[in-house]
Amino acid sequence: MTKTLVIAEKPSVAQDIVRALTPVAGKFDKHDEHFENESYVVTSAVGHLVEIQAPEEFDVKRGKWSFANLPVIPPHFDLKPVDKTKTRLNAVVKQAKRKDVTQLINACDAGREGELIFRLIEQYAGGKTGLNKPVKRLWLQSMTPQAIRDGFDALRTEKQMQGLADAARSRSEADWLVGINGTRAMTAFNSRDGGFFLTTVGRVQTPTLSVVVEREEKIRKFVSRDYWEIHGAFQAEAGQYPGKWFDANFKKPPPGPDGVADPEIRADRVWSEREAREIADAARGKPATVTEESKPTTQASPMLFDLTSLQREANGRFGFSAKTTLALAQSLYERHKALTYPRTDSRALPEDYLPVVKDTMKMLADSGMKHLAPFAQQAVDGSYVKPNKRIFDNAKVSDHFAIIPTLQAPSGLSEAEQKLYDFVVRRFMSVFFPSAEFQVTTRISTVEAGGKKYPFRSDGKVLVKPGWLAIWGKEAINDDDEKDGKNLVVVKPGETVKTESADLKALKTRPPARYSEATLLGAMEGAGKTIDDDELREAMQEKGLGTPATRAATIEGLITEKYMLREGRELIPTAKAFQLMTLLRGLGVEELSKAELTGEWEYKLAQMEKGALSRDAFMREIAEMTEHIVKKAKEYDRDTVPGDYATLATPCPNCGGVVKENYRRYGCVGKSGTGEDACGFSFGKSPAGRTFEVAEAEALLRDKHIGPLEGFRSKAGWPFTAEIILKYDEEESKNWKLEFDFGDDKNADTGEIVDFSEQDTVGPCPICGAPVFEHGSNYVCEKSVPTNAQPTPSCTFKTGKIILQQPVERAQMEKLLATGKTDLLDKFVSMRTRRAFKAFLTWNAEEGKVTFEFAPREGGSKFPPRKTFGKAPAAGKTAAAKKVAAKKTPAAKKAPAAKKAAAPRKPGAGLKPSDSLAAVIGAEPVARTEVIKKLWDYIKANGLQDATNKRAINADAKLKPVFGKDQVTMFELAGIVGKHLSAP
């Protein structure tokens, strides 16, 4: 008997489909990865299971960051599984390949992304020959059982969906082409002078960064102006009330040269202190006549949440980052089943959801949440849930509907989850409650003096009926209560009041505020509104930059790549961000930084969905654009890129001349400032891919030393930490030059004595009990370096001040030495995945080093623990060892829950060393991650680090056959080792 395979996008949707089909198609049996009855097999993806990649013959492995291999425009794309969901993909493919499965139904989300998820799975399952099984499309905007059954009765054909499928594939491939080629071209350009300067660009991330940079440019160029306001106090029979002077004849100023009117010019501002004082002096003590207008107004509740509005408001109310809000909402959806699908851009519900909403309101009324249940009961008793186009409208529902509570009351929520759940529940109830009613009063108190009239305005707003605001703790107030509204004392008709006081208030105009995550999410969502072209603006009207599901990741990505910093709630662009924008402008490829690019794509993809534009034509245009970007970068031949550059306040250390910035360097232009008498002193702006902030360049020039600084990258692209010094070169250049100072064991190697007499100890050494001090980029035991008291070191304790990009403050090291453990630190970045993670630093006495300890997940985890933990790595290595780790060593693994001796390795586990490598580290099979450590132990024990270049390793008789040459750099080690390891 043949069956139909139904593939949903998420497990929860697969379950909904099974529940809906059971009454009409029969009972389903539940298996590990699917449901099955006599007619259907129902399974699901978990989002994207497959992603596109260049075919093997076009996949550049070596030299991919050079112009020689650009542009990369493959004639077609191959597919590869997403690593973390391989198991799920294999389960879905297994069902698709079953001989008794003769038809497929695409039940992924009703939109472009859902279409792409299914099409890539189908293509991957079919391989080179294809599945050759007919496909139908289930198109759902509502998940009620009846809506699902109706959807199965009206399945769409593959031909009907071809336009959407083409648009989905084209968007994915275009993003790949522009992102890969743009990033490699800009990186190649910035790495021309040596080193590795990763410069990522993308269709969404770069315009988003541009928004933040343009705001920062306005802030930097802003010149504050003084202005004055005149505040009066008026005495009536019933009491006193305030008022502010305004110009009754004020007219909005005309647009300036940039086409924008000056927003600082307002009716209540005076730009001359003398004029302001004249107004205050003329009005003070004089009688005033009063006119006022009072009228009722209403305020409806804001609409239901989509993901972006939830992220924005949770950022403003709770300080949650967009990433945190998404994670909490996803947990409430997946784990607790308490919220509907969160990755939505819709703020309305399907029209057939009225019965579900009524049931949800009844559930909330019976939920036992004392602070919210009474309001839900009020809504049930008052029949507040009724048809309303503002709430129930199929036309406003896209792939998913608004975020609302489900019929399941949650329990065991974390504090943060509870906050977000309550927030969504309050908004859900609010939209069904009556509007809030206010009485708004505008009072004008006019003083006549010297033949002139001086009007003062007073505004009052009183909450009369709270309506939906009662859910948020707002109550109606009486005339004597001003805590929730701005009441004005009563003035009788015809009453004359006295101007008790009229005082000047001196103020200054303020620059525009920096973006927070909330305001940046809003800017991304509304990016299309800034586009002049009507067609492009219309195309982006519903899209903006990115999607609700990707915007948080875009912001986090910009922070991870050091384009932005998060300080409190502010997002601040770095020097690297300004450098990227300068580069794009200078090369003439500004389209990469403009929202118009997304607008143009959305317009053309919409045409493709309708069959008005072919996929081939669109992809040809993308290929041409990609070639244009690479060509501009490759052929740019000027010495520097034009831009708005800084002049440093600190003079040249060589000749006392002026030091100026250009695109690549800070350099002396002589005392004249023209460059004619320049002495040749300069240093790169971005050593090892990390761009100096202007303040850092000033500090380096002034102190000849800065750091330790994080965010440098090796030639292989791995991050590392180092100090930087300016050192005078006596032998060659006779000038100052920039050098890295890795804080290696130079004192131990040279015998130079370290003096700790001026320092306070950080705490006792956990190995020998001697005092621990700060030393360079490390915390070290007094007995681990040469001192007057003990010239020969006898202890090994040393741990870094920065570990995996996490600064370890002195207070935290004091706590670790005193108690064995730091606080939970949250800025570690994995060397392997480059993702941020949180951990405690602890002293592991058995292993004799600082290791990581991970906090347990709140409320447990739905995922089983990892099967292999291995030994917890040292969190603080010698700086030289950290550089080796920066090349290839994986991120720290979790320490065992209980301190036990590491289990002996089973025979045959790991990789087999070659004979030459075995002569150095032994012949036992070994994990790749242990090889470098063993090699490094050998190198250190035999003093094979080069005396003049700590990053170079000299080969002895044993290492020569391994290296194949007399000397290698530590960054080459991992690549060399790989050739000497094989499966046992």
Alpha-helical (H) ranges within 79-135 are 86-96, 112-126
Q: Where are the alpha helices (DSSP H) in 610-668?
A: 615-635
State how far the Cα of 526 lies from the Cα of 512, in Å rounded to an integer. Answer: 18
Task: Note if the bond before 791 is cis, omega within 30 degrees.
Answer: no
What is the CA angle 872-874-875, rounded to 5? 105
Q: Give percent helix, percent strand, percent coil of the chain, each to the nearest 5.
A: 35, 20, 45
Active site residue 341: yes
Q: Which of 204, 208, 211 is nearest to 514 (CA)?
A: 211
| Alpha-carbon gap, residue 537 to 530, rounded angstroms | 8
Q: Active site residue: 341, 353, 421, 515, which one?
A: 341
Cβ–Cβ under 8 Å, residues 782 and 764:
no
Instruction: Using only the alpha carbons of the chain, give its radius of gyration.
Output: 34
Strand partners, 438: 297, 463
CB atoms within 10 A of CB 487: 19
**Angle, alpha carbons 968-973-977 (nearest 5°):** 125
Cα 105 to Cα 24, 38, 517: the distances in Å are: 17, 16, 39
Q: Which tokens hold the place of 156?
A: 């769409």
Q: Decide if 423 contacts 454 (C-beta within 8 A).
A: no
Give the integer Cα–Cα distance in Å for 866 and 451.
85
Are the C-beta atoms of 630 and 67 separated by less than 8 Å?
Answer: yes
> What DSSP string describes 835-866?
-EEEEEEEEETTTTEEEEEPPPPTT--SSPPP
Rounded Cα distance, 715 and 147, in Å:
56
H/E stretch holding 665: strand 665-668
The residue behind tokens 């709140």 is 858
Q: Are 55 and 76 contacting, i.e. CB atoms less than 8 angstroms apart?
A: yes
Strand-pair partners of 315: none
Tokens of 815: 């706590």
Question: Which residues have C-beta within 8 Å of that of residue 199, sequence separation ≥ 6?
Answer: 183, 186, 187, 189, 190, 580, 583
Q: How far apart are the first and last CA of the chain?
A: 47
Helices (H) and strands (E) in the chain, counts: 26, 36
Residues 912, 925: Cα–Cα separation, whole Å:
5
Q: What's the rounded Cα separation, in Å, for the pair 81 and 186?
A: 28
Q: How far apart are CA 384 and CA 822, in angstroms?
A: 53
Which residues, 6 or more positions from 611, have their beta carbon under 8 angstroms from its beta carbon? 163
Cα distance between residue 397 and residue 144, in whole Å:
14
What is the C-alpha separation between 888 and 920, in angstroms, rounded?
A: 20
Residue numbers annotated as active site? 341
